[in-house]
Amino acid sequence: MTARGDTGSQTAAPVLDALVIEWLGQAAGVWLRAGYSDDYARYVDLLSSWGAARHLAPAQVEEQIFGLIRAGGA
């Protein structure tokens, strides 16, 4: 589990680490900074919007991003 809490919950806190930050910048053109609450809020909003069509919680989207990172894909 990469998030705090049940990843299927809308309230689970998705992880925003250096790997995810780099992936977001390169794959999606989204530039975020670690340790900034306003950037983290933008991140959660982004994951929410990406997950909405597939009924995924933000932490579930983050897990899929991490899977892409591990697989070396975009």
Counted domains in the chain:
1
pLDDT of residue 33: 96
pLDDT score of 74? 60
Residue 14 in contact with residue 44, Cβ under 8 Å?
A: yes
Mean pLDDT of the chain: 91
Tell me whether residue 13 is in a domain.
no
In a domain, 28, yes or no: no
Q: Is the pLDDT of residue 1 over 50?
A: no
Residue 9 lies in a domain: no
Q: In this structure, is residue 3 part of a structural domain?
A: no
Q: Is residue 53 part of a domain?
A: yes
Q: Is residue 2 over pLDDT 60? A: no
DSSP state letter for 8:
T
CB-based contact 55:1 (threshold 8 Å): no
Indicate whether 43 belongs to any domain. yes
pLDDT at position 32 over 70: yes
Q: Which of 39, 33, 40, 44 is nearest to 9 (CA)?
A: 44
- Confidence at residue 37, expressed as pLDDT on a 0 to 100 scale: 97
| 52 within some domain | yes
Angle (nearest 5°) at CA 7 between 74 and 14: 60
State which residues form the domain around 48: 36-74
Say what the pLDDT of residue 73 is.
63
Q: Has residue 27 been placed in a domain?
A: no
